[in-house]
Amino acid sequence: VQFHPEVTHTRQGMRMLERFVRDICQCEALWTPAKIIDDAVARIREQVGDDKVILGLSGGVDSSVTAMLLHRAIGKNLTCVFVDNGLLRLNEAEQVLDMFGDHFGLNIVHVPAEDRFLSALAGENDPEAKRKIIGRVFVEVFDEEALKLEDVKWLAQGTIYPDVIESAASATGKAHVIKSHHNVGGLPKEMKMGLVEPLKELFKDEVRKIGLELGLPYDMLYRHPFPGPGLGVRVLGEVKKEYCDLLRRADAIFIEELRKADLYDKVSQAFTVFLPVRSVGVMGDGRKYDWVVSLRAVETIDFMTAHWAHLPYDF
């Protein structure tokens, strides 16, 4: 085949693949989310036995589903480390702790680290430099917490199959290479851990279906993507607590209004950006001179390229 029937741009591509697999090869569709979960749980138990496992829980889809699979497989032998960097969405830290700690009963170590991250970011304007700072500080915080735990022999990660594909080019003869932005990275040399990646053979849509089967809420699994560095890259220029707090509130209002207008699920991603400039506006009957926030909504399939979403003028 001289084209890619699996990509979304190929019309009838999925029908071609389905006919080849189902009609020509006579394969049966037996691989359900429940079966994938049973298989993953069995493999986790076989791999780690009674050992303890640590996982960096961000509240994102991949780490959340990984946490639920591990919890089902090994229960209290899993410790999740949740680092609150002060760059999350409105009330996100509380939601993660309530859902996974109180509701599902996972063992979670909560690390409030807002001051540490903001101090490290002070004075930095370059977006790539900010990404590296956030990544470095996260590694430092995670390392410190991991060293406090005793007898942890395994590090779990929410690596999914696209990560493995993208990493293949840099393979060095090992079974697989971990992408730096997915890897907790930089773990102290004295911490010799094995790696547990229960989602590494699954695509994002499969991970979401598994999450639903495991009892995670639809709104959490299907919400718009949020960058790893969080608001650190949605605040243009220097990151300050004042800017993050304002942006958090503005973003929550934007998303709330999209949901009210039944538009949230019709756009691929919507978010606000803090611009470090002030502008004159009118609030009520008075003049207002304040910070500017930009609203962005896009449509995309692969999240590699995107075009702006058509929102109604009266939105």
- Binding residues for ATP, as ranges, are 58-64
Report residue 18: phi and psi, to 5°: -65, -45
- What is d(CA 50, CA 48) in angstroms, rounded to the nearest whole number? 6
Nearest of 134, 111, 94, 89 to residue 239 by alpha carbon: 134
Q: Is 5 helix (H, G, I), strand (E, B) or coil?
A: coil
- CB neighbours of 41 closer than 8 A, spacing ≥ 6? 69, 72, 73
Nearest of 145, 249, 194 to residue 44 by alpha carbon: 194
Nearest of 40, 50, 97 to residue 70 by alpha carbon: 40
- What is d(CA 201, CA 107) in angstroms, rounded to the nearest whole number? 26
Cα dihedral sign, 257-259-261-267: positive
Helix (H) or strand (E) holding 65: helix 61-74
Cα dihedral sign, 240-243-246-247: negative
Strands 286-299 and 269-283: antiparallel
Report residue 246: phi and psi, to 5°: -65, -45
- In order of 161, 267, 296, the CA distances from 273 in angstroms are 30, 17, 8
- What is d(CA 111, CA 108) in angstroms, rounded to the nearest whole number? 10
Length of the chain: 315
Q: Annotated binding site, which residues?
A: 58-64
Q: What is the layout of strands, in order, in the sheet containing 194-196?
A: 108-112, 78-84, 52-56, 152-156, 194-196
